[in-house]
Structure formats: structure tokens, C-alpha cells
Structure 1
Amino acid sequence: MASPLIQLFDHFREDLDDYNDRRERLIKASRDVTNISKKTIFLLHRIVMEESTDDHALAKHAAMRAREKLHEVQDMYAGMKHELEGDRFWRHQRQVSPGLQEYIEALSFAHYLDHGNLITFEQVEETLRDSNGVLYFPLVVSDYLLGLSDLTGELMRFAISGIARRGGRAKANQVCAFVRSCKSDFERMTPYIRELSKKQAITTQSLEKIEDAAYAIAVRGSEYDLPQDMLDDIVTQTISTFGSHGDMKGRSRRRDDETDDEYHPDL
């Protein structure tokens, strides 16, 4: 029979093996969540850029499709519930956090397209509950805010991509005001949440890009006394002509490559 000391070290070994195995499973699950959330964001961008006579209905359709896709993530979190019971969640939060932030970014983008406002903490929590109303794991305020901070980058892409569409300039101005409000509100949280200051710098860059695009078109529009519909057509033709020379497509491909790196964090 092994001595009590050997038995004690065997117990430590089992605990360490269990911890490492669970950590690896959660890292893999978080990567899968990140991948699905990234695809959901791409799906939203793709649908809202489709031709439609009713942009509001198109945005509603995009949000519905995104929520259907995000059910896959919610099912994955349901399967992870037993892995994160009690204090296990706090021991493994760093493995869960990257995927959760990506999920919140996708969910908040769909919510914005559907309702035109910011998804609340309670609304995100509701998507992380089982049929009995029990949370799969605690939703940390820092993950919620960091996920929302990432949303501003997607809103920048949404505004600039659609600025050449009919009514796109007005929509870009709305997005600009919304992102500016988010930046102002999040600024008060930067002393308390690690990494938020870095994301605020990216939000500032996104806001500047929206402002520059909206300002450039506003200045050009003021130079000509044209009806709004005719001005929309001129902007659309200009963007189309620019893209036909391949520059726009090349930039789009480079952006996709950069986005792949952005959405696959080193866990």
C-alpha cells in the first residue's frame, strides 16, 4: 500500500491533469465560438449589402439569420456549463473570455441592425440561460463592455460599405453619432477595465474613418446644387467606377486577410 505522502501527491497529479484537460477543452470550445461568431458577422455584412427596396426589412432579415446562427454558440455554452460550475469559471475565465467577447460583438451587431440601439447587459444574459432560467456561467461586465467596444469596428465597416447606397449617407451619419456616443460612454470605464483603453484607441480610429467619409461626401454635395436622389446616383457611380479598376477589390481582399488575423486571437 502506498504511503500517505505518495497518495497525497497522486491526488495533486490527478487535480493538475483534470485542470489541464479542462483548460484545453475550453480553449478549443472558445476557438469554435470565435469562428462561428466571426462567420455570423460576415453573414450580417453580406446580407445588409444585398439589393433591396426596403433596407429596414433587409436589416431585420439579417438580424434574424444571425440569431439563428448564434444558436450554435448558445448550444456550445450549454454543453460547457458543467465545465464551469462553481469557482471553475473564475479559474478558466481567460480561456472563455475571447470567444465570449466575439459572441457579444456578433450579437450586439445583429441587435443594432434590428433595433438601432445598444444591446443591454440583461439582454445578453438572457441568451446565456437554459430553459429553467439558470445561467450557463456568470457574465462579467468587462467581457460585456469589451465585446461592445469591438462592435464599433463593425459599425464603421457597415457605414462605409453602405455609404454609396441610396440613403447610405444618412445612415452613415446615424452610425457616426452612435459610435461617438459609445466612445464617450466607454471612456469613463477605462480606468476600471483592463484592455478597454486599447480598444478605445481602435474605436477612435473607426470614428475618424466614418467622419472622414461622411465629411468628404457632404463637402462634395455642397459644391453642387443637386437633388438628393441625383447626388446618390453620382456617389454610387463614382464608387462603382473606382471598384471596376480593381483597387477596391484589392483593398477588400487585404481587409479580409487582416480580419482573419483579428478574429483568431492566440488563446
Structure 2
Amino acid sequence: MVIESREDIVRVFDVFRAGIDERNDRRERIIKLSREITIQSKRVIFLIHRTVTDDNQSTISPDETPYQKAAKTAHGKLLHIKKSFILPLKAELISEADYWENQRSVTPGIQEFIEAVSYYHYFETDRLITHHEMEGWLTDESGNPILPLPYSEFLLGLSDLTGELMRFAITAIARGGGRAKSESVSEFVRRCNSDFERFTPFVRDLWKKQQVTRQSVLKIEQANYTVRLRSAEFQSDPQDIDRLVQRTMLQQEPPYHRRDLDTEGDDYMNT
């Protein structure tokens, strides 16, 4: 097409401008949705942690454990995140090409959602969630996928689970009767670390998260070693040992520091 007048040039650039504006507006909506998914997923993780470590068990029915109550409470919250924030992403990412074009904006929220779902799934089933099960959380009511779930994305989100389990394990040690659960979590995180390590050559940035996972394994093992050492030194009433362990653990760094959740996600808003 030959453009012969100034008006024709202006019209062509108006079309370009409208296309660029629409693309930037859509990207901004995607970033906001991803940020909201991140914030709400972190709140679910904190809710689970608070429920399973709550010393006041009066709100729990006799036929359920704190872990079952945490999973039941979190399930509704996760469904709300899916309905309110993940489903709207489908309207913005119409094709698979749209997803890959905006992956850097989407991935922080999806990885945090994977972490929250896997944390919930662990307390519900006492095992690691599978890729197929996670895909079920990213499908609509008709069974159609809302978003693609590459294995790399799944592994990166899943590897963050070990940090939350470390915090739970160390908190559980300081509570009466929680030492057995802490040792079970220690073995679980150790297996995760071993299994994830095999994928580090194939998944970008997984090696960075593996460094954190190894630190989590070490922290849990050190805490369990301290407990066993103190228990061997003071072979007395179990309640006395629990009080001694609690005093010992409180002298260590608090295991569960979290920033204001309303500011979470700002680190990737400018990507």
C-alpha cells in the first residue's frame, strides 16, 4: 500500500498506537491479577500454618485433626483464588501464544499458587501433589485448561514448598507432641531435595531454589538433633522434656517471619 498524504500516515500510526495501548493495558491487567494471586496464596499458606500450629484446639471437632481442619479451611480459600483471579486470566490470555508472551508477568502468581495448593495437599493427603493433580486446579468447570502448566513451572512452584514445611517443622518441635511430625517432615523434605536435584540441569533457576531447599533440610535436621540431644540428657517426664525443648527452640531465630502481605509481589511489578 502506498501512502500519499499526511492524513493517511496519521491514520496508520493511530492504528499502531491503539494496538500498543491495548497490549500495554492488557499486560497491566495480567500483572495485577498475578500480584493478587500471589498475595492471596501467601495468605492461604499463612492460614494453614496458623491453624496447624494453634495451641487453642477448642475450635476443632473431636473427629478431625488440626491438619484436616487446616486443609478444609484452605480448600475454600484456594477455590476462591481460582474463581476470582485465575479464571479471569483466561480472558486475557486467549491463546497459548498470549501465555508465552506474558509468561514473565504470570509466573510469580502461578508459582505461589502452586506452593499454596501443594502445602494444602500435603496436610490433606500426607504426600506430594502430582503434575496431573495440579493441572486439575488450573482447569475450568468444563475441564478445559485455564493456563498451560509446563513441568518447569510446576517444579519451580513446588520447590518453594520445602521452605514452608521447614517453618512448620521447627514450630512443631516446640509444641508438645510435635516432634514425631517434625521428623516425618524432615524425611519428606530430604526426599524432595534428592528428587528435585535431578532436574536442576534441565529447569532454569531451579538450582537457586535447591540451595534454599538444602538449607531447609539442614535447619530441620539441626533442630531435630538438638531435641534428641536434650531428650537424652534429661530423661524425665515427657512434659518436662516438652518444656525444655520449647525453651531451647525459643532461643533460636523465630521461624516464621512474613512481610506485610499487602506489599507482597511488588518485586516483579516492574518486570
Q: TM-score range by the shorter chain?
A: 0.7 to 0.9
Matches within 5 A, 1:191-206: 191-206=201-216
- In 2, the alpha carbon distance for the partners of 1:216 and 1:112 equals 26
Letter in 1 for 2:88: G
Equivalent pair of 1:49/1:162 in contact (CA under 8 Å): yes
Q: Which residue of 1 aligns with 2:105?
A: 95
Q: Which residue of 2 aligns with 1:27?
A: 31
Q: Pick one of 87, 91, 107 that aligns with 1:82.
A: 91
Matches within 5 A, 1:238-253: 238=247, 243=250, 252=254
Report Cα offsets for 1:163-213 as digits up to 9, x if no partner.
Answer: 022321111111111111111111111111111110000111111110100
Provide closer, same or farther for how the CA distance between residues 213 and 233 of structure 1 changes in structure 2, counting only shifts above 3 A: same
Q: Between Structure 1 and Structure 2, how many residues are aligned?
A: 259
Farther off after superposition, 221-230 or 168-177: 221-230
Equivalent pair of 1:125/1:139 in contact (CA under 8 Å): yes
CA shift, 1:219, in A, is: 1.4
Q: Which residue of 2 aligns with 1:66?
A: 74
- In 2, the alpha carbon distance for the partners of 1:224 and 1:18 equals 69
Stretches of structure 1 lacking an aligned partner (at least 5 in a row):
none
Provide closer, same or farther for how the CA distance between residues 129 and 230 of structure 1 changes in structure 2, counting only shifts above 3 A: same
The structure with the largest helix share of the pair is 1
- In 2, the alpha carbon distance for the partners of 1:258 and 1:218 equals 35
Q: Answer yes or no: is 1:189 the counterpart of 2:199.
A: yes
Report Cα offsets for 1:213-263 as digits up to 9, x if no partner.
Answer: 000111121223335455334424x25xx75xxx67xx5498234988776
TM-score calculated relative to the size of structure 1: 0.87
Q: Answer yes or no: is 1:159 the counterpart of 2:159.
A: no
Report Cα offsets for 1:76-99 as digits up to 9, x if no partner.
Answer: 111221211111111111111000
Equivalent pair of 1:38/1:263 in contact (CA under 8 Å): no
CA shift, 1:6, in A, is: 5.1
Q: Which residue of 1 aligns with 2:267?
A: 265
Q: Answer yes or no: is 1:47 the counterpart of 2:56.
A: no
RMSD over equivalenced CA pairs, Å: 2.7
Letter in 1 for 2:257: R
CA shift, 1:63, in A, is: 0.8
Equivalent pair of 1:34/1:264 in contact (CA under 8 Å): no
Q: Which residue of 2 aligns with 1:141?
A: 151
Report Cα offsets for 1:127-180 as digits up to 9, x if no partner.
Answer: 111111001111121221111111000000000011022321111111111111
Equivalent pair of 1:98/1:265 in contact (CA under 8 Å): no
Q: Which residue of 1 aligns with 2:130?
A: 120
Provide closer, same or farther for how the CA distance between residues 135 and 32 of structure 1 changes in structure 2, counting only shifts above 3 A: same
- In 2, the alpha carbon distance for the partners of 1:225 and 1:14 equals 76
Stretches of structure 2 lacking an aligned partner (at least 5 in a row):
none
TM-score calculated relative to the size of structure 2: 0.86
